[in-house]
Amino acid sequence: MWFEGINGRSGLGRITRGGDGNQALNDRLLDAEREAGFHERDMSAFERERIDLEHRVTRMEAELEALRQRRLEAYARWWNARDDRDRALHVCRKLRRRVDRARRRSGDEDD
């Protein structure tokens, strides 16, 4: 485990009576607290970055949704224009046939 030292013992070793043992223990404690502080600062920086990225992702997702909506609207406009064109071409064909029939009839009457 992360808290075990060499040979499965805790990293602190045996606590001995006297000044040297207490000083060593205090040194280890200060080192561990310093290391925890470094990790705490790293975690704060990582959390700020995560929050920033979360906001950016949210904005990009909203922009993507808006673009998808615009794409659908553009396709709907294209589809409607295509339908209008097809209707206009259909009317043109009908009128062309009428004009052709009228010309043929007027040509028959002239003979």
pLDDT digits (tens, 9 = 90+) for 41-84: 999 999 999 999 999 999 999 999 999 999 999 999 999 999 99
Say how far apart CA 8 and CA 3 lie, in whole Å.
9
Query: Do residues 69 and 61 make contact, with C-beta atoms less than 8 angstroms apart?
Result: no
3-state secondary structure of 1: coil
Within a 10 A sphere around the Cβ of 42, how many other Cβ atoms?
A: 10
- pLDDT for 108 equals 73
**How long, in residues, is the chain?**
111
Identify which has the larger pLDDT, 108 or 39. 39
pTM, full prediction: 0.56
Please tell me the predicted confidence (pLDDT) of residue 8.
Answer: 54
- Could you tell me the pLDDT band of residue 97, with boundaries at 50, 70 and 90? very high
What does 6-72 look like in DSSP terms, one character per residue?
Answer: GGG-BTT-PPPSSHHHHHHHHHHHHHHHHHHHHHHHHHHHHHHHHHHHHHHHHHHHHHHHHHHHHHH
Q: How confident is the model at residue 107 (pLDDT cuts 50, 70, 90)?
A: confident
What's the mean pLDDT in 17-31? 85
